[in-house]
Each structure stands twice: as C-alpha cells, then as structure tokens.
Copies of this chain bind each other. A is one copy, B any other.
Amino acid sequence: MNNNDVSIIGAGLIGSLLGIFLQKRGLSVSVYEKRPDLRLPEYAPEGRSINMALSDRGWKAIDELGLRSLVEPYAIPMYGRRIHDEHGDTTFLPYGKENQAIYSISRGKFNHMLVDEAEKNGVQMKFDHHCKEINITDTSIVVQNPDGSTEKNTPGVIIGADGAYSSLRDAMQHQTRLNYTQEYISHGYKELSIPPTKEGEYAMDPNALHIWPRGMFMLIALPNPDKSFTCTLFLPFEGAKVCFAKINDRKDLDTVFKTYFDDAYALMPDLAQQYFDNPTSSLINVECYPWLANKSMLIGDACHAMVPFFGQGMNCGFEDCYILDGLLEKYGATSWELVFEKFQKIRKKDTDAISKMARDNFTEMRDSVANPKFLVRKKIEAKLHELYPNEWIPLYTMVTFSDMKYADAYAQGKLQDEIMDRVMDDPTILQNYQQLNYEEIIRQVDTARMV
C-alpha cells in the first residue's frame, strides 16, 4: 500500500478528468473501467451519442488543466432556450446576457478526448477491467482482467467515479453504515434524432436548446457538430394521457407527435424506427452520506446522481474534481483521510442543493416555459439583473454562469422567488411590467438579506 497509488473506478467523464488532475499532482493513477475502450471503432455505433450541456463550472475545471483549446472545437454554444408551441411558433429566451451560453457537446467524443489526455499524462487506463469485489477495510480491489483472470490490488486509496450505479457505493452500502437514498422520478426518457436537411444544414437554429414544453411532458433537442440534433423525449412511464405505456405502435406514436410536436415530427423521417429501436431509460436521484469510508471515497454521480433538468450533473462532477484538487494542493497530495473528510463536509450541502434544483427545474422546463406569465417573469428578472448586476442575479445565472456555491445560489434563489411571487401577484402585471419600480424590488432583497 502506497499513499501515492490511486485507483479510480470508472473511466467516464469524471473518472478520466479526475485521473488527469491527480496524475498532474505527481500521483500514480490507475483507472479501472469494466466497459471496452470507448475509442475502439466498434464501440460507438454512429448517431448514438448523448449530448451534455457544458457550462461555467465545467469550463473552470477544464481551464485549470489547460484543456480549453482541445474542447472548444466540439462545443456548440447555445445562447438560450427556443420554445416551440403546439402550432410550431417559437420564442427565444436567452439564458443570460449576450454571449453567455451553455455548450452542447457529445458525451462520447468528450470522453474519448479526456481518456486520450489522461493516457498522455501517464494515467493507466484499464478498460475491460471489472471490479468484482471491493473491500473497504483493507482498501483492496479484486479486478477481473480482460483474459478472465483475477488479481487483487491494494492501492493507497480508491475513488469511485463509477456513476449512479456505483460498485464502490454498493460495497460501502454492504460493509459500512452508509445512509443511502435512491429515488426514481415518474418520467423516463428516450433518445431520438433530427438529421441534417437534404442540403446538409441544421434543420433548426443550432445555437439554442430547443424545448417543446407540454405540461406533464416535453421534448428537447441539442445541436451536434454534424448538423444533426439529438432529441430527448421525456414522458411519464405510465398512468397519464400521454405516456410510454400508451405508445405501442406506429399509429400511437404518430398521433402523439402530430398532436404535440408537429414541427419536430416533420423533421424526423425515421421517427418510428428510432422510437421502437431505442431503449426507454429511467431517471434516478441518488443521495448518500458519508461519501468516504476508511480510504475509499465517492465522487460525481456515484454520491449525488441527479436528474438532468438543470444540465449540471457533469458540471457538478467536474467541480467536485476541481475542489478535491484544491484540497490536495492545500493539505498535501497524500493526506487522504483529511482531504476526503474536508471534501465531503464542504461539498455535501451544495450537491444536495443542486439535486433539489434539478428536480425543481423539471417543472419549469416542461410547464412554466409555456406560460406567458413565466416569460414576463424572466424578462423582469433579466431587467433587474441588467440594472443591478450584483444585487439581483437570476437563479439560472448563479447556477450556470458563476461558481458560487450551489447552496448559496439555492438560498438566494428562494429569496428572489418569494419577492417575484409578490411582484407577479399584481393582476395587471402582464400589461404594466415595463413600468415597475425596480429600485423598490431591490430594496426588498436588501431587507430580506438583513433578516
């Protein structure tokens, strides 16, 4: 056992990025991944990528490692939401100020690049290596090698970056007093795709995240560099007028799409094939504590898997890596117990906050964005932010375009929400919102902050 010897489980986005951070600190890092090397040509079938929305917290970690120039060519800026109503009319709602954007990027390509970079830095990337057993007490891993043989390793520490279904967390759940909650939401999702036009162009505005909000369900679309869009359909699994359980054949499918997503439907020539070929996936929220046990620790989705509706899962995991790296800088790269303890204490309330906000944002995305009052509310908030850039920062901006602590953003957002609820209670607000007394609103924020 050597404190310098770090085993990371999982070579996804978080595991690969963390590998780079730790190797750069002079540690000796091995990353075990049960799946085959995702860079092999047979691994990623065409057109089956999922898109991530990279935003400021993610970029901050990328910048810390000096990787921005590698990432940028793959990242398509989305400056706002483009909301599609049932008649095909659209409204554009900026995410922030001019030039503030979130970036659509393919999970597969991004991961490929990070794995390359990790290897370049000396990280041992071990694909097709399956962790069969993890022992928390002696910090050992039994790994099954690609040839089927097994070996037992005893690294200095184990870090589980192995996602929502983490095997390290499973081991902790059975071997330690882990408090643990997993909760599925009633909705599932299915990936679909909008191909480029015959002319080889984007079929819609590429610099927006497209949303078809329909109350209890929604469709979204994010642009890809190959001029296609990856769409995600979110529906209840069952028990609703429109749900996965009630779409059993092409006729059911066509009816739903023609009724609710007609403009998207027109752009999806092979909808039925995609719909019935692609799996329906579920959405889980995971919370647990503690994140560490002896010399093992969880990071990213492994300890705080969240629903995707704030686009923060990856960004939050990258911020985890950035913060962990900062603690290693401060306390020394081998004071693991201290660093792990500090890490979970600092971070838990923030990941609880973003998990909560991600669930809340589902309601906003599928419902409120279709509401005229909501659009006016966003405009008032944008104006307040323009006039008082430090006193009023919209929640979305605090989460997406800043690195303030998620828990502080959540608290500040609640306070602003209460004030905005009162502003919107005025029955004449839709007519008169341009004559508001903004100074008076800001005074309410200051008063509330002092209480």
Contacts and interface: CB of A to CB of B under 8 A. Distances in A.
A182 B179 contact: yes
A173 B173 CA distance: 12
A173 B286 CA distance: 12
- Counting chain B CB atoms within 10 Å of each CB, which of A173, A174, A177, A284 scores highest? A177
A98 to B, nearest CB: 42
Contacts of A173: 182
Nearest to A288: B182
A273 interface: no
Contact residues of A: prevailing secondary structure: strand
A165 B180 CA distance: 13
A249 interface: no
A429 interface: no
A277 interface: no
A68 B282 CA distance: 48
Interface string A408-434: 000000000000000000000000000
Contacts of A284: 177
A184 B174 contact: no
A3 to B, nearest CB: 25
A183 B284 CA distance: 18
B174 A182 contact: no
A341 B215 CA distance: 29
Interface string A147-180: 0000000000000000001000000011001111
Contact of A282 (B177, B180, B182, B282): B177
Interface in A310-337: none
A59 to B, nearest CB: 34
A179 B165 CA distance: 14
B184 A182 contact: no
A437 interface: no
B184 A181 contact: no
B181 A180 contact: yes
